[in-house]
Amino acid sequence: MKKKQRAIHILFASAEIAPWVKTGGLGDVAAALPPAVARAGCKVKVITPCYPALAAAFPAAVELVKIDGLAVRLPHCRVLDAGEIAPGVGLWLLDSPRHFARAGNPYVDADGHEWPDNVWRFGLLSRIASWLAENSASTGWPVDVLHCNDWHTALAPAYQHYLGGETPTVMTVHNLAFHGQFPETAIGDLGLPRRGFRFDGIEFHGKLSFLKAGLQLCDRITTVSPNYAHEMQTEAYGCGLDGLLRYRRARLIGILNGIDEAQWNPATDAAIAARYDVKTLDKKAANTAALREELGLHNDTAPLIGVVSRMAHQKGSDLLIEEGDSLVAMGAQLAIVGSGEKPLEAAFRELAARHPGRVSVTVGYNEALAHRIEAGADMFLMPSRFEPCGLNQMYSLRYGTPPIVRRTGGLADTVVDTTPATLKDGTATGFVFDHASGEALLACVRRAMCVYRDPLQWRQIQRTAMQTHFGWGEAAQRYRALYESLLPAGR
């Protein structure tokens, strides 16, 4: 009888995991992809820092292993086992209070400045991820593949490469714009050899780059949409790493993110005023009325445009500010939630002050309010200059809130533009524009508002959107196949 092989064991390293610690899409992916991979037949452990929110959420976490200082600036620490957070998914917490016991954002202080010791904080996370992958005798849990995410864990493949690790690594890029660059002088104190500071190692324009190291030295590179996998190899979107990505293109693949279709489901969503589905879309109007009342917007027939976004140049926030007055003049209302660059936050507040009852701006992030905006808005705006995948446009489709997006990255992969042809064949799900300009944004919103005035066409777009599925099942199967390709022959 053939011996049954054990499931593939994946160590998933991430600096965030929703709902406890989240600044963007990475937190959502870290919460949703591991359970999906587990359903596809793998076993997963997530390793993430023990921030205060996680310490509070898992007070019964027990010490799994104590690790002595692995480098001059990487002191001793512990890894705590918080138990199973989903079937087949366990949570490990990197416990180092001097690095992670800080309130608020994981990366920046209250003034928006990066923590000055981020090089040691995320150097430690990367080093511990690598150590765990190679020390199953200490943990009792063998690791077949180490899956790293964004710059915060991207130094782990470098540790594997230079310190003789045998576990293969996957490096997923959620946003290429953030490199994690630090002075060359940090190398020795991180426990990396000086010989690694080369163009084909961890060096990037005279600095140590965590992300460059991961992309250069991992076994496989993935990113979060097929279109972004192509875009990131171009000078326009490559953030200086396009040459390396073209060089490694045979090991690069784009796998479209999914969404948690149980959490983001208007038929069961406890956060919204009235639940509905594709057959009861008339109930969506109750959510619009409730959202207007909550945000202090006038109760009229104007189309309500929702925005839930980081306030940043990448997200096209400046384009929205530039055309905000014009959108109001066109008859639109705006419900905006987000935080980010301080000048943009201030400009959004000024926009709301100029248009009381027409524009609402909430600075900060509120998960429940994000759900209510998806349910209550008539349209959802994402004018991103680049967007590796994007999740909100998929939430919007799920909620029958046609998205207005720029044709880039995952937005191009997920939204079908409304044209005479797509209206005729019933495939239209939203509105797409090409140029990153206020003029193009305004023209696209104007086009959407014209269609909005035709209730039959608008309802058709909503129904098509709601019947488009973006669950994690397909992505999980593709990741499983990728993991299997890295296993030794016969495994």
Closest CA to 299 of 362, 230, 358: 358
Pairing of strands 333-338, 403-406: unpaired
Question: What are φ and ψ of residue 256, in 5° steps?
Answer: -65, 130
Query: What is the Cα–Cα distance from 162 to 459, expressed in whole angstroms?
Result: 57
Structure tokens at 432: 């797409």
Cβ proximity of 231 and 386 under 8 Å: yes
Query: What is the Cα–Cα distance from 26 to 106, expressed in whole angstroms?
Result: 12
Query: What is the Cα–Cα distance from 418 to 424, expressed in whole angstroms?
Result: 10
Q: Binding site annotation covers 22?
A: yes
Residues 6+ apart with CB under 8 A from 154: 126, 148, 171, 180, 210, 211, 213, 214, 215
- Burial (CB < 10 A; 0-12, 13-18, 19+), residue 242, is middle
User: 80 - beta bridge partners?
Assistant: 63, 93
Element housing 206 (H / E): none
What residues are designated binding site? 22
What residues are designated binding site for ADP-alpha-D-glucose? 22
